[in-house]
Structure 1
Amino acid sequence: MTLTAPAATTTALEARNLVKDFKGFRATNDVTLGIQEGEIHAIIGPNGAGKTTLFNLLSGFLRPTSGEVHLFGERIDTLQPFQIVRRGLSRSFQISSVFPSMTVRENVLVALQSPSSLPMQFWTPLSRLEDLGPRADQILADVGLEGAQGRLAADLSHGEKRQLEIGISLTQDPKVLLLDEPTSGMGSEGIARVIELVRQVAKGRTVVLVEHNMSVVAELTDRITVLQYGSVLASGKYDEVRHDPRVIEAYLGEEAHG
């Protein structure tokens, strides 16, 4: 009988012993984790656990006090955020980051300038960006906003703004996409739409998300990492981690028994 060797896995994003101090307060404490290529990975934990700090370290918006971040084997924690984006990592933010006075399509067109040969100038007439139009239209279709191209971003619902923000993140054609609280403030209909959207954008890429809604985490993710007081408390498949007594005590509580 011939045994088939398990398929090799590639680590897409890796944190190695990350520490971040703020004037005597340690926000992340020796965080080590590896996120595999092609998986959807959630980072969860109670308020103040260090999730946002970790996201900022992974995406280059903060420099670690010590430790390293690697993207497909390349060290990136010494790079600027725009350099990290060009290497294949993009992120959304918990707070809306769209241009409210521009249309949905214009928001995507402006974002598409960055990886193109056009100069990165906010004064560039939008008429010069029309060569990027087909790509913008495809992105809007991918995130379910093909019917909202001409609407002002300010007029979008909360859920639609989230869709647009994910679309803007996709303009960089990332290999790894970080999503910060993608369902925050949404009702059940909006949450269902975002779950389906994350599934779509995860095809062919790695997705890492910070998320409080445990139903979303259970439905979407391949693996989760639980933070507490800036440290990794547990990491693994959702069904394994949710029964860990330390996790139940620290975060999930009665919800973990549901």
Structure 2
Amino acid sequence: MSNIALQCVNVTVSFGALKAIDDVNYDFETGRVYGLIGPNGAGKTTLLNVLAGRLPQHEGKVLCDGDDISLLKPHQRTRKGIGRSFQITKIYPDMTVLENFRIAAQIKHSRFAPFWIAPRYDRSLAADIDAMLEMTGLAAHRNDIAGALSYGLQRALELGLTVLPGPRILLLDEPLAGIGHHEIESATRLILAASAGRTVV
């Protein structure tokens, strides 16, 4: 059995005459953590968008566990076990932290329930939500409106939303960007905890 979780095969993306990424070939092994390093405009976010299905490659293909996923939409890649966070935080700002996590938990369990039913009545959802509240350090903020959190806590929330559905592959776009110095250590611990047993790019 191959230990390659994700593959780029001759991947090229062009914007007009500009090649944002050119003939990229790389194998991302299962359970390993990778860092993409380069200046602004080097194509790091473009590559992550291609891997996540948010941007089509113009040449080449993307494989997940040996299967060609080049034509799959982002939600279809999510079902294949690929999770994606963003350089600009994407959360549900008008909802509470608990409600944000409940959406992610329902995605994991492939079912949705009315929001007026408290999550404690669904033990499987509640257990996953409680575990993520603890892992992200957001337990004390469970009833806070997400948009009112500090930026560092919003980043923690977004990472929790990415991890809670249970992806095997995490695509993290500058997860420490914009976080204050006093939050770097806790954010790094959270990323390491989220990375356990997963392929991370």
Asked if Structure 1 and Structure 2 have the same fold, meaning a TM-score greater than 0.5 normalized by the shorter chain, the answer is yes
User: Residue type of the partner of 1:125?
Assistant: P
The match for 1:115 is 108
1:128, distance to aligned residue in structure 2 (A)? 3.8
For residue 163 of structure 2, what is the aligned residue in structure 1? 170
Structure 2 match to 1:126: 115
CA deviations over 1:182-228 (Å, ceiling 9, x no partner): 111122221111111111111111111xxxxxxxxxxxxxxxxxxxx
Contact 1:105 1:137 (8 Å CA) reproduced:
no
In structure 1, distance between residues paired with 2:23 and 2:84: 23
- Equivalent of residue 147 in structure 2, options 136, 144, 154: 154
Instruction: Give the equivalent residue in structure 1 for 2:92.
Output: 99
Give the distance between the partners of 2:115 and 2:126, measured in 1 at CA: 10
Matches of 2:172 and 2:195, distance apart in 1:
11
- After superposition, the C-alpha distances for 1:41-60 in whole angstroms (9 at most, x for unaligned) are 00010111111110100110
Identity, in percent, stands at: 39
Q: Which residue of 1 aligns with 2:17?
A: 24
> How much does 1:153 deviate?
0.4
User: Which of 10, 14, 28 does residue 3 from structure 2 map onto?
Assistant: 10
Shift in Å, 1:134:
2.1
Q: Identify the match of residue 178 of structure 2 among 185, 191, 207.
A: 185
Structure 1: distance between partners of 2:44 and 2:154? 22
Q: Give me the whole-angstrom Cα distance separating, in 2, the residues matched to 1:128 and 1:43.
A: 42
| 2:70 alignment partner, one of 74, 77, 90 | 77
Equivalent residue of 1:126, what SS? coil
The residue that corresponds to 1:230 in the other structure is none
* Residue in structure 1 matching 2:30, options 37, 55, 59: 37
Structure 2 unmatched runs, 5+: none
Structure 1 ranges of 4+ moved more than 3 A: none
SS at match of 1:33: strand
CA deviation map 1:13-46 (0-9, x unaligned): 1111101112222111001111111111000101
**Aligned counterpart for 1:63 among listed residues 53, 56, 73:** 56
TM-score (norm 2): 0.92
Residues 73-123 of structure 1, C-alpha deviations (whole Å, 9 max, x = no match): 11111101001001111010111111111110100112222233425xxxx
The aligned length equals 197
Structure-1 separation of matches of 2:191 and 2:2: 22
The answer as to whether partners of 1:183 and 1:190 remain within 8 angstroms in 2 is no
Compute the displacement of 1:170 (Å): 1.1
Shift of the alpha carbon at 1:129?
Answer: 6.3
User: Which amino acid in 2 is paired with 1:166?
Assistant: L
Q: Secondary structure at the match of 1:43?
A: coil
Larger radius of gyration: 1
Looking at structure 1, the residues matched to 45 and 74 of structure 2 have their Cα atoms a distance apart, in angstroms, of 15
In terms of fraction of residues, the more strand-rich structure is: 1
Contact 1:139 1:171 in 2 (8 A): yes
* 8 Å Cα contact 2:108-2:166 kept in structure 1: no
Which stretches in structure 1 are left out of the alignment for 5+ residues? 1-7, 209-258
Shift of 1:161: 0.6
